[in-house]
C-alpha cells in the first residue's frame, strides 16, 4: 500500500497521465510505433502486387474461424510503455493484415469497390489524427470546408446551377437514399415532420379526398434497383407495401412506359399516392442507367420527388467522353442525388454524398439543439441536415483525390474502366464464343460483365437447361473460391435466365488478370461440362 506516486513516476519517467492510454508522450509513442505500423502496411500493399499472392488467405469463412482467434485480454500482454508493449500491438496488426482480403492484388473483382490509392491511405491517417467531428464547423473547420467545397463541386458537375443546392456526406449510399426518402416525405407532405404518417393521411384526405389505401405514400423504383430503397421504406414507417417495382427492359433500364402505367393505375385504382421516383444510375447487377429525362417528366406530372441513386454509376458524369457522361443527362432535373466516391472513384470506405437541388429541402431534417448548434446556418452545422449527429469528415478524402487527380483525372479513370470492360466483352465474344455465354449487358456497356460457361457444341449435351447452366455457374464460383486467385460474385439475372458469374471491371484492373480469369472460368466450365456429360 505504500507504493508512492513518486516511485511510480520514477518507474516510467515520461508518464504524465494516470490513464493507461497515455503511458508516455504521444509523440514519443508515435515515433516508435508509426514507422513499424507503416512498414507492415507497405508490406501488405507490396505483397498485393506480387502475382503469387492470394486474394483471400482462407478458402472459406469456416476455415478462417478455425484458424484465427482474436484475444480480448483482461490484462495487456506486456508492461505498459516501451517496446515490449509494442510487440503485442504490432503482432495484432500483422494478424489482421495477414488474414484479410488483399484488394491491392487487383484481383478482388467481387464487389463494387476495390483498393483505394495511396492518397486514400494518407487521407485516412490525416482524418484519424485530427479526429474532428464534422457535425459542427467549429470542431472541424477544415473538414467542414472540404465538405462544403466537394458538395459545391459535385452539385456543379451534376448541373445544379439554377438553384441554391446543398448536400452532405453520408455513411454510405444506403443512408443517403434513406435520407432522400425522409427528406422527400417532409417536403412533399408538409405535415410529415410534425404529425408523421397520420398527418400525411389527413393531408391527403383533405387535399385530394384520398383515404384508406389511396392515402398510402408510394415509392416507384425499378426492379433492378438497390434494396436500400426498400429499407428506406421500412425505416420511414411506410413499409414495404409502399414500394412499387417498375419493370426494366432486357438491358436493366427502367421502362418509362411501365412507370407511367403504374403511376396512373395507382392513382386511378386508389392503391396509393405516388410521391417518390427513384432513377438508378448504374444498377448493382447489370450497371444500367435509367432514362432520367423521361422519369423527370413523369415526376413532374405526378408531383413526385425525383431521386437519382448514382451510388455506383454517378461518377460517369466525370467522363470526358460525351457518350459516357450523357448517361447522366438530365441529372439537373433531380431533386436529390446519391453518389458514392468510395466505389468507382476508389476513395476509401466510406465516402458517400447526398446532394439536393434546393438547399431548403434539407431544413425538414433540422432541429434546434442549443447544446450543439449555436447558429441556424446549416453550412456551419452540417449535422442539422441529417438524422445523425457525430460525423466523420469523409469529404476530405474526396477533396484530396480531387486535388491529386483533378476532375479530368477522375474522368479518365472512369473511361479507362469502360474501355477495359469493352475489351472483356470482345474477348469473350471472339475467343470464347463456343464455350461461354454472355449475360445481358447494359447498353451502353458499363463496368459489369456477366457470363457463364456453356457446353461446347457437339459435347453431347444438347441444350443444357437454365438450371444446369446455373449449376455450372455455382460450381465455377466455388472452384474459383477454392483457388483463391480471383474473387468474383455470381447473381441471378432478370427474366429468369438463371445465375451468371458477375465480374466487376475496375478501371485499374490489369488486362492480363482479366484474361486469366476468363480463361480459368472457361477451363473450369469445360471440365465441368465434360464430366457432367458422362
Ligand atoms: C452500393 C449501392 C448502394 C448502397 O451503397 P452503400 O454505400 O453500400 O450503402 C445503393 N445503390 C446502388 C445502386 C449501389 O450500387
44-64 pLDDT per residue, tens:
999 999 999 999 999 999 999
- Ligand 1 contact via 336 beta carbon (within 6 Å): no
Exposure of 409 in the CB half-sphere (CA atoms within 13 A): 11
Q: In angstroms, rounded to a whole number, what is the distance separating the alpha carbons of residues 520 and 518?
A: 5
The tens digit of pLDDT for each residue in 206-241 reads 999 999 999 999 999 999 999 999 999 999 999 999
Predicted confidence (pLDDT) at residue 374 exceeds the cutoff of 80:
no
Residue with cell 515490449: 84
Residue whose CA lies nearest to ligand 1 atom number 2: 311
Q: Cα of 174 to ligand 1 centre, how many Å?
A: 6
The ligand 1 atom at the shortest distance from the C-alpha of residue 343 is: 1
340 ligand 1 Cβ < 6 A: yes
Show Cβ contacts of residue 451 under 8 Å, excluding neighbours closer than 6 positions.
428, 436, 437, 438, 439, 500, 501, 503, 518, 521
Ligand 1 pocket, residue 453 CB under 6 Å: no
Exposure string (b/e) for 82-105, b if CB count within 10 Å is 16 or more?
beebbeeebeebeeebeeebbbbb
**Model confidence pLDDT, tens digit, residues 339-359:** 999 999 999 999 999 999 999
* Backbone φ/ψ region at 484: left (φ over 0), alpha (ψ -120 to 50), beta: left
Our answer on whether the CB atom of 105 is closer than 6 Å to any ligand 1 atom is no
% of residues, the chain, pLDDT over 90: 84
Cβ of 309 below 6 Å from ligand 1: yes
Q: Looking at residue 462, what is its pLDDT?
A: 64
409 close to 400: Cβ distance less than 8 angstroms: no
> pLDDT category, 15, cuts 50, 70, 90?
low
**7 — pLDDT class (breaks 50, 70, 90):** very low
Cβ 173 under 6 angstroms from ligand 1: yes
| pTM for this prediction | 0.94
User: Tens of pLDDT along 129-169?
Assistant: 999 999 999 999 999 999 999 999 999 999 999 999 999 99
CA terminus-to-terminus distance, the chain: 81
User: How far away, in angstroms, is 226 Cα from ligand 1 center?
Assistant: 7
What's the 270 CA to ligand 1 centre distance in angstroms? 32
Q: Which residues contact 482 (CB under 8 A, 6 or more apart)?
A: 59
Distance CA 461, CA 468 (A): 10
The response to whether residue 312 sits with its C-beta less than 6 Å from ligand 1 reads yes
The C-alpha cell of 501 is what?
458469374
Q: Which atom of ligand 1 is nearest to the CA of 350?
A: 7
Q: What's the grid cell of residue 205?
A: 384526405
Q: What are 164's three cell numbers?
A: 441554391
Question: Distance, CA 83 to ligand 1 centroid (Å)?
Answer: 43
Amino acid at each position: 500500500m505504500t507504493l508512492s506516486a513518486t516511485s511510480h513516476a520514477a518507474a516510467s519517467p515520461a508518464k504524465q497521465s494516470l490513464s493507461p492510454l497515455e503511458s508516455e508522450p504521444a509523440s514519443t509513442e508515435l515515433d516508435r510505433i508509426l514507422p513499424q505500423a507503416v512498414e507492415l502496411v507497405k508490406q501488405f500493399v507490396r505483397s498485393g502486387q506480387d502475382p503469387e499472392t492470394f486474394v483471400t488467405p482462407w478458402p472459406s469463412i469456416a476455415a478462417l474461424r478455425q484458424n484465427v482467434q482474436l484475444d480480448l485480454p483482461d490484462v495487456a500482454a506486456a508492461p505498459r510503455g516501451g517496446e515490449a508493449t509494442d510487440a503485442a500491438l504490432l503482432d495484432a496488426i500483422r494478424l489482421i493484415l495477414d488474414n484479410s482480403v488483399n484488394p491491392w492484388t487487383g484481383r478482388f473483382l467481387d464487389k463494387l469497390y476495390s483498393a483505394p490509392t495511396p492518397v486514400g491511405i494518407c487521407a485516412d491517417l490525416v482524418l484519424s489524427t485530427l479526429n474532428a467531428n464534422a457535425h459542427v464547423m467549429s470542431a472541424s473547420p477544415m473538414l467542414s470546408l472540404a465538405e462544403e467545397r466537394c458538395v459545391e463541386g459535385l452539385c456543379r458537375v451534376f448541373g445544379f446551377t439554377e438553384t441554391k443546392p446543398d448536400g452532405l456526406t453520408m455513411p454510405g449510399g444506403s443512408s443517403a437514399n434513406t435520407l432522400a426518402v425522409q427528406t422527400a416525405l417532409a417536403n412533399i407532405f408538409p405535415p410529415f415532420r410534425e404529425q408523421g404518417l397520420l398527418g400525411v393521411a389527413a393531408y391527403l384526405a383533405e387535399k385530394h379526398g384520398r383515404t384508406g389505401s389511396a392515402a398510402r405514400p408510394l415509392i416507384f423504383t425499378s426492379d433492378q434497383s438497390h434494396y436500400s430503397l426498400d429499407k428506406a421504406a421500412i425505416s420511414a414507417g411506410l413499409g414495404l407495401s409502399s414500394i412499387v417495382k417498375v419493370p426494366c427492359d432486357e438491358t436493366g433500364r427502367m421502362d418509362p412506359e411501365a412507370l407511367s402505367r403504374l403511376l396512373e393505375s395507382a392513382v386511378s385504382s386508389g392503391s396509393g399516392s405516388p410521391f417518390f421516383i427513384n432513377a438508378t444510375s448504374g444498377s448493382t447487377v447489370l450497371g444500367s442507367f435509367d432514362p432520367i429525362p423521361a422519369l423527370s417528366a413523369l415526376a413532374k406530372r405526378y408531383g413526385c420527388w425525383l431521386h437519382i441513386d448514382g451510388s455506383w454509376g454517378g461518377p460517369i458524369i466525370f467522363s470526358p467522353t460525351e457518350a459516357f457522361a450523357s448517361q447522366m443527362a438530365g441529372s439537373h432535373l433531380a431533386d436529390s442525388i446519391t453518389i458514392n466516391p468510395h466505389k468507382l472513384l476508389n476513395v476509401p470506405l466510406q465516402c458517400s454524398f447526398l446532394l439536393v437541388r434546393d438547399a431548403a429541402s434539407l431544413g425538414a431534417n433540422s432541429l434546434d439543439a442549443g447544446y450543439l448548434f449555436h447558429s441556424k446556418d446549416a453550412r456551419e452545422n452540417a449535422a442539422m441536415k441529417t438524422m445523425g449527429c457525430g460525423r466523420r469528415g469523409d469529404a476530405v478524402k474526396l477533396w484530396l483525390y480531387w486535388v491529386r487527380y483533378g476532375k479530368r483525372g477522375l474522368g479518365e479513370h472512369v473511361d479507362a474502366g469502360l474501355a477495359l470492360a469493352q475489351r472483356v466483352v470482345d474477348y469473350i465474344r471472339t475467343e470464347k464464343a463456343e464455350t461461354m455465354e454472355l449475360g445481358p449487358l447494359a447498353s451502353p456497356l458499363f463496368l459489369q460483365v456477366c457470363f457463364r460457361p456453356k457446353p461446347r457444341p457437339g459435347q453431347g449435351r444438347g441444350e443444357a437447361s437454365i438450371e444446369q447452366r446455373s449449376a455450372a455457374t455455382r460450381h465455377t464460383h466455388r472452384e474459383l473460391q477454392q483457388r483463391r486467385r480471383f474473387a468474383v460474385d455470381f447473381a441471378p439475372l432478370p427474366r429468369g435466365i438463371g445465375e451468371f458469374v458477375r465480374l466487376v471491371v475496375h478501371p485499374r484492373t490489369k488486362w492480363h488478370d482479366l484474361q486469366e480469369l476468363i480463361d480459368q472460368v472457361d477451363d473450369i466450365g469445360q471440365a465441368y461440362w465434360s464430366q457432367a456429360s458422362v
